[in-house]
């Protein structure tokens, strides 16, 4: 619990929300300014600022629920797809610093813009892939197994 956090206040009920799911460790509620019809936020009750600082036990509990809540949302609004995403850091568009997954139902021809992809030459891609691979230490790899 972080006393300055809006989502912690939603968990305690201090700030009202349109709750769609709750158990001991997770809550889901409608986004107050939805990107599309049925936009839901799923949060762990255990406060962490974002995905990268969350502990693995929290994530192990959270992810299957993100999946099940996504399935319920899709059925409820007759969506053809759903974007499941989490913003990490202000540069990535994060505004609320309590880990949350956005479930954004998608509809055929809903007009939402796609990611702006661009071409990158092979050499640049190869160098970049190597640079990322170098950042995995034996310890981090072992911890993922």
Q: Is 100 a catalytic residue?
A: yes
Site mask for Zn ion (CB under 5 A), range 19-58, x = bound: ----------------------------x-----------
Is residue 98 near Zn ion by the rule CB under 5 A?
yes
Please tell me which residue in 39, 47, 98, 100 is annotated as part of the active site. Answer: 100
Buried b (16+ CB within 10 A) or exposed e, 69-106: bbeebbeeeebeebeeebbeeeeeebeebbbbbbbbbe
Q: How far is the CB of 85 from ligand 5GP (least distance, A)?
A: 8
Q: By C-beta, is 30 or 59 nearer to ligand 5GP?
A: 30
Distances (CA, A) of 49 to 41, 43, 61, 133: 15, 11, 17, 26
């Amino acid at each position: 619990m972080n006393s300055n956090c809006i989502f912690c206040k939603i968990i305690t009920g201090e700030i009202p929300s349109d709750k769609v799911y709750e158990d001991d460790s997770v809550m889901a509620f409608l986004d107050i300014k939805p990107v599309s019809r049925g936009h839901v936020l799923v949060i762990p009750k255990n406060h962490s600022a974002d995905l990268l600082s969350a502990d693995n036990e929290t994530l192990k509990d959270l992810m299957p629920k993100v999946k099940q809540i996504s399935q319920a949302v899709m059925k409820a609004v007759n969506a053809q797809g759903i974007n499941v995403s989490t913003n990490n850091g202000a540069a990535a568009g994060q505004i609320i610093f309590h880990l949350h997954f956005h479930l954004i139902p998608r509809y055929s021809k809903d007009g939402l813009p796609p990611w702006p992809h661009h071409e990158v030459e092979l050499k640049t891609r190869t160098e970049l892939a190597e640079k990322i691979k170098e950042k995995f230490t034996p310890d981090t790899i072992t911890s993922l197994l």
